[in-house]
Chain A
Amino acid sequence: DARVTQTPRHKVTEMGQEVTMRCQPILGHNTVFWYRQTMMQGLELLAYFRNRAPLDDSGMPKDRFSAEMPDATLATLKIQPSEPRDSAVYFCASGLARGAIPSSSYEQYFGPGTRLTVT
């Protein structure tokens, strides 16, 4: 049963520290999404990759956040320096998009999330 995996599942860190979250998308999927979920803001799209190329990171605070896909089996989301307001659950999702049809037309498979607490 193919699943998206995320590590770590939980992370507690102090303000100012670097945080790296990792995601392994489902093998064969060509789209990867990073979301942040909080009670106040709900689900926010942070970044989106297709065929490993970053296509949209407009939802991400670029001064401290960065997202990369060093290869097809790994996506990373880094926060440096972290702040208490970054505390949230971060989800990675992957999917298989075809042709010119927008990726949002297809099912997204979510990982279990990384719960980040910044003190």
Chain B
Amino acid sequence: GNSVTQMEGPVTLSEEAFLTINCTYTATGYPSLFWYVQYPGEGLQLLLKATKADDKGSNKGFEATYRKETTSFHLEKGSVQVSDSAVYFCALGGATNKLIFGTGTLLAVQP
């Protein structure tokens, strides 16, 4: 069945460091891929998405490219800020009505 695997956290970085959070997926067909972010005490919110192979989603300095050959959708940011500290969820959609979430990766950015 369809599934999403993302790297275990927590990821601890210093401010202005480069961020990568790995996400790989298993799916039949052509799913849509998402990154959602959850700040402390809040619900999830969409960070970026890509709907087909080689699409790059980007928002707030974050980027992720839909790689069909490696079944990956890694999240990157060139220079993280303290305000980026949150839990990041990779998600897969489009096969059924159910959005499939990864387990989440906690990012802690220290000043």
Contacts and interface: CB of A to CB of B under 8 A. Distances in A.
A102 B103 contact: no
Contacts of B100: 104
Interface residues of B, number: 23
Contacts of A93: 43-44
Contact of B98 (A56, A110, A111): A56
Interface in B22-58: 32, 34, 41-46, 49, 51
B70 interface: no
Nearest to A106: B93
Given A43-B104, A48-B97, 8 more contacts: A4-B43, A33-B99, A43-B89, A56-B98, A93-B44, A102-B97, A104-B99, A110-B44
B62 interface: no
Nearest to B102: A42
A45 B99 contact: yes
Nearest to B93: A104
Interface residues of A, number: 24
**Interface centre among B34, B51, B89, B92, by most A CB within 10 Å?**
B34
A105 B32 contact: yes
Contacts of B109: none
B94 interface: yes
Nearest to A91: B43
A17 B2 CA distance: 37
Nearest to A89: B43
Given A91-B43, A105-B93, A45 B103 contact: no
